[in-house]
Structure 1
Amino acid sequence: MFPEQYDVIVVGGGHAGAEAAAAAANMGSKTLLVTMNLQTIGQMSCNPAMGGIAKGQIVREIDALGGYSGIVTDKSAIQFKMLNKSKGPAMWSPRAQSDRMRFAEEWRLALENTPNCDFYQEMVSGLLVENNRVIGVRTSLGLEIRGKAVVLTNGTFLNGLIHIGEKQFGGGRAGERAATGITEQLRDFGFESGRMKTGTPPRVDGRSLDYSAMIPQPGDERPEKFSYLDTPVLQRQRDCHMSHTSAKVHDLLREGFDRSPMFNGRIKSIGPRYCPSIEDKIDRFADKDSHQLFVEPEGWNTVEVYVNGFSTSLPEDVQFKALKSVKGFESVKFFRPGYAIEYDYFPPTQLKHTLETKLVENLYFAGQINGTTGYEEAASQGLMAGINAHLRLNEKDAFILQRDEAYIGVLIDDLITKGTEEPYRMFTSRAEYRTLLRQDNADLRLTPKSFDIGLASKERLKRMEEKERKSDAFVNFFKDTSVLPEAINPILERLDSALVKQSDKMFKVFSRPKVKMEHMLELEPVSGFVEDNDLNREVLEQTEIQVKYSGYIQKEKNNADKLQRLENVKIPENFDYFKLKSLSFEAREKLSAIQPVTIAQAARVSGVNPSDISVLLVYLGR
């Protein structure tokens, strides 16, 4: 049934698995995607949206590297918003509502149109390992499929257990069975595992809702998109809506707390801190008598609606009674109740920065198996695992993104260096260099790197270079061109900004906080330059950021360069920290467990102090 041997076998067809398979195949590896259900490739198991705070930056980075998530999102979007637009550009975060069915369809079609990518539908129940090196997988039917590298992206399926009130049953997702066998085998190899929890809200019939009682949440007037390629821009959009819980709703929910698996001890694992269930919210924030609910359509044509903010594992009758007391939901009809799910994960400190495991060669973990939560976090890990599996098989250098190069670099370094005991979610605050890691410049940061390793296409590189050339030329135009007082002062006066008394460089005037690109375009030389050089909105935005934030950007680059010196100080492999008695005992323990590759990584390990780093530097002759 199968070739003698695949290069890369990817287990799981969610966001991590789909990106891993696409990356490995596009780089030239003969790739097999094995999943329990080929109809759910790229399935949005939870909310029908991509992006958001920091997550939107990750989707842009995936796209810049040559991944598919941004393209698929643009092709299936029903609404687009740029969040945090009132703040600085480091905080701007793109987010799109997607048509759930079209999203999965576009992913399936994208992979089917990817050369080198084969598919097989069955459960993988174990790994084939010889001499601490993975050589393939074994399926539940007993088939052995040989592969030089394996990427595990099992999501919530490893020994998945679904909870609804006092009922519990095995499953990796509603209507789908759990995956068994892999956890037990990995433990036998010496891997440490744990349990995590996540949850999802009820899905309801939009025809039963009274939208006139809710607050409309429209998309942007001038919607943007995720991909840097020529994907479609939304011409029409669907509104989301907002409603609120109330003290009455909370009281009705509390009536079911004695039957809640969260409170009666049935669920022992930890759920996502920043996406808690509704019962967790009203328990932890007892002083609040109202919480926001976002009512999100599941697509263009379906009536199914996602009730964002009402994630719950309470009994279905309690869910129904409480939701009926929410404004606009008085006549609500359920498609299905919310539920919680517990699943196995493997603490990611057991991985290298390539996402290869330390214990078994050529075995990679990506996504929720590493303790993360979120489509975007999973997709980015899948992409990096697929890339590095291909590079290792071809005896090429590993592809590792640093913390000042990408949010993906921050995410993976946090996981490998610090580990996580609760579902990890990316935030802009986790990045030290977020002024450098903006959503607008992901292509400038990452496309050349991806092109060099053979993933990003020539077309991507050409588009990026054109954007860079045009924005650099426009910045230089502002630096080189002066503006007369009589031309700029009427604009400054209107903006209540200090007038200029003599001719001044446009760059200096444009740097003022109140002066925006739209104001500079009122000047004939500027509008003429834009027209003559055919500058699009993307170039105008990039230029404005480069002008207005040049000082901050340069300062952050300098700080990153200083830290890079420590990234260049390598620690010998399998270094014996216990022989350095000057290190604190905690440092010796933590560093021995994690085995950091560089001094900079060692400095980020929890429990390692500056004095410990000094000891290491002295020992290493620095």
Structure 2
Amino acid sequence: MFQEYDVIVVGAGHAGCEAAAAAATMGSSVLLITMNMHTIAQMSCNPAMGGVAKGQIVREIDALGGQSGIVSDKTMIQFRMLNLSKGPAMWSPRCQSDRMMFAHEWRSILENNPNVDFWQDTVKEILLDGNQVKGVKTSLGIEIKSKSVVLTNGTFLNGLIHIGEKNFGGGRTGEKAATGITEQLITLGFEAGRMKTGTPPRVDGRSLDYSKMEEQPGDENPAKFSYKDTEKLAKQRSCWITYTNNEVHEILRTGFEKSPMFSGRIKGLGPRYCPSVEDKINRFADKDRHQIFVEPEGWDTVEVYVNGFSTSLPEDVQYAALKKIPGFENVKMFRPGYAIEYDYFPPTQLKSTLETHRIKNLFFAGQINGTTGYEEAACQGLMAGINAHRNVNSLAPFVLKRSEAYIGVLIDDLINKGTEEPYRMFTSRAEYRTLLRQDNADIRLTEKGFEIGLADQERLDNVRKKVQQVEEIITEFNGHKLYPEEINEALEESGSAPIREKTSVTQLLKRPQVSIDKISKASPVISSLLEKYGEDTIKQAEIHVKYDSYIEKEKLLVEKMNRLEDLNIIENFNYDVVTSLSFEGREKLKRTRPSTIGQASRISGVSPSDISVLMLFIGR
């Protein structure tokens, strides 16, 4: 009935979709197994992609040849570039998505890839040959052979949904939990834990009074995620902002005694940076209001996502509290919010490829590794899919360094430090964030994606053209000088000191208050010069000029760190023979099995003296 596949992907969420698409695009035969063909790429929580640091990840996925950026562009209903008041390292693209279109577009991409097959079933067991994967066994008792398996189970592993004092098994509302895999992996020696996440109620947008809320429109000139020629938004839907108040808080408090979170029925830790509304009013009792984002779920639906009101309180308490929020006085609720507990496996049990240490060709990606967020899941799925394909074809691992991508930061953090709460990406986690901007992800990563067979020739041609044009523009900026009478008026309007002699465009751009837009408006020559270049290319050149010294400093730091990254540690190195290592350092190194000295230096509990001893021992 089934052929032997190169890669079986278990789960069709954001991680599973990227894993399947990547491996199949690179030439592997892929079977995508999902419990429900109608929920492929379901946006289980908010209908949005990107955000602070997350937007950078989506652009990196796209630059490598992944699909999340393309799907987001085709299905967005609003686009905003966040943090524009800060430096470009902090700029982060975010879009509101049409939930149903998003899932439909992803399914279409997968169905149009001839190397992807589908099977609707639940995987109950991993089939092994010694310590190597050889396939999976489903709830129907079917054994399907494969050379590698990628587990992207999301919140389904022994998932337990909580609403007030009620709880029932489920991986998502209306869908059953998955059992069997956790139990098997534990018998094989894996360590497992529990985590918790939650979601807010969904409401009927027709029952809301938007006149009592603040409108939050999209950008006037919306950008996009993908570096390919996806269309920009021609029209957008607004989101809205309102606030809780003391009356809302008092109603919510009446449900605390029935709260599964406060009563101890929920054991797993939830995301610290996206707390439930009851957690917010409990932890921040001094605040008399909290922001609520009212987000439409698509073009052709009245369903609304109440962002900021995640809760597992009883449904009657949720409803009573909602009605006291300005604009929600006549609200109709589609379904209540809930919390969900699920199994995860501490990611220190993984290699930098996301392959497990214990079982060869078994990969974990997404929430099974303790992360939260579509974007974090998608990039892990992409990397697991790439490396599953490369493993079965006896190719070298594909790993991104911390200095190369936010994806590299995320995976490095997970496998070296682990996580005891849902891990979310922030710009502050990346020490080289001036290099890892959202605007240059294609320059950083597209050639790598092309080399491994994921990014296509068109992408490579586009990025090479962009690099060439950026260099041309910078050369022009260096060579073209403006007279005081040309530019002083614009400088004074910008709050910048006037010049007394001819000054190059490069020198003017280094001033914080001066932008290329202002210079172009003041100088017809510069305006004419830039006409043949695209907006993104011009912005890239401006960033290079303005932040050149910062970029060079970070490059020097990267070069210094890469000396440690280039010192490899053999896979089965015996740390017990290095008697000078501290006890804690030795145990952490034996558990994590770092592949380089650089990776070893970032493991919690491994001291600088341990690293010095290790370097001496391997002859450096």
Q: TM-score, normalised by structure 1?
A: 0.98
- Deviations 1:164-190 (Å, cap 9, x if unpaired)? 000000000000000111111111111
Q: Could you tell me how far 1:581 is from its partner in structure 2?
A: 3.3
Distance 2:495 2:72 in 1: 41
Pairwise mapping of residues 46-445 of structure 1 onto structure 2 (< 5 A)? 46-445=45-444
- Deviations 1:472-506 (Å, cap 9, x if unpaired)? 11011111222222222222232232222222222
Corresponding residue for residue 600 of structure 1: 598
Q: Could you tell me how far 1:575 is from its partner in structure 2?
A: 2.4
Corresponding residue for residue 529 of structure 1: 529
For the Cα contact (< 8 Å) 1:64–1:446, is it kept in 2? Answer: yes
| Alignment: residue pair count | 619
Q: Could you tell me how far 1:303 is from its partner in structure 2?
A: 0.4
Q: Could you tell me how far 1:579 is from its partner in structure 2?
A: 3.2
Q: Could you tell me how far 1:338 is from its partner in structure 2?
A: 0.2
AA at the equivalent of 1:298? E
AA at the equivalent of 1:462? D
Distance 1:185 1:492 in 2: 68
Distance 1:104 1:430 in 2: 30
Corresponding residue for residue 545 of structure 1: 543
1:512 and 2:516 aligned:
no
Corresponding residue SS for 2:119: strand
Corresponding residue for residue 480 of structure 2: 481
- Deviations 1:15-37 (Å, cap 9, x if unpaired)? 00000000000000011101001
1:503 and 2:486 aligned:
no
For the Cα contact (< 8 Å) 1:520–1:526, is it kept in 2? Answer: yes
AA at the equivalent of 1:301? D
Deviates most, 506-515 or 355-364: 506-515
Q: Could you tell me how far 1:469 is from its partner in structure 2?
A: 1.0
Match of 2:577 among 579, 600, 606: 579
Unpaired runs of at least 5, structure 2: none
Q: Could you tell me how far 1:238 is from its partner in structure 2?
A: 0.5
Q: CA RMSD in A?
A: 1.0
Distance 1:311 1:511 in 2: 44
For the Cα contact (< 8 Å) 1:47–1:306, is it kept in 2? Answer: yes
Distance 2:149 2:581 in 1: 38
AA at the equivalent of 1:615? V
- Deviations 1:599-620 (Å, cap 9, x if unpaired)? 1111111122222222222222
AA at the equivalent of 1:194? G
Q: Could you tell me how far 1:114 is from its partner in structure 2?
A: 1.4
AA at the equivalent of 1:128? L
AA at the equivalent of 1:613? I
- Deviations 1:43-85 (Å, cap 9, x if unpaired)? 0000000000000000000000111100001111000000000
Corresponding residue SS for 1:151: strand
Corresponding residue SS for 1:441: helix
Pairwise mapping of residues 13-32 of structure 1 onto structure 2 (< 5 A)? 13-32=12-31
Distance 2:298 2:492 in 1: 47
4+ residue runs of structure 1 moved beyond 6 angstroms? none
Corresponding residue for residue 556 of structure 2: 558
Q: Could you tell me how far 1:113 is from its partner in structure 2?
A: 1.1
Distance 1:552 1:618 in 2: 33
AA at the equivalent of 1:127? I
Deviates most, 404-413 or 490-499: 490-499
Distance 1:493 1:287 in 2: 44
% of aligned pairs identical? 67
AA at the equivalent of 1:527? S
AA at the equivalent of 1:499? P
Distance 1:500 1:232 in 2: 42
AA at the equivalent of 2:311? T
Distance 2:587 2:279 in 1: 35
For the Cα contact (< 8 Å) 1:26–1:115, is it kept in 2? Answer: no
AA at the equivalent of 1:441? N
Distance 1:488 1:399 in 2: 49
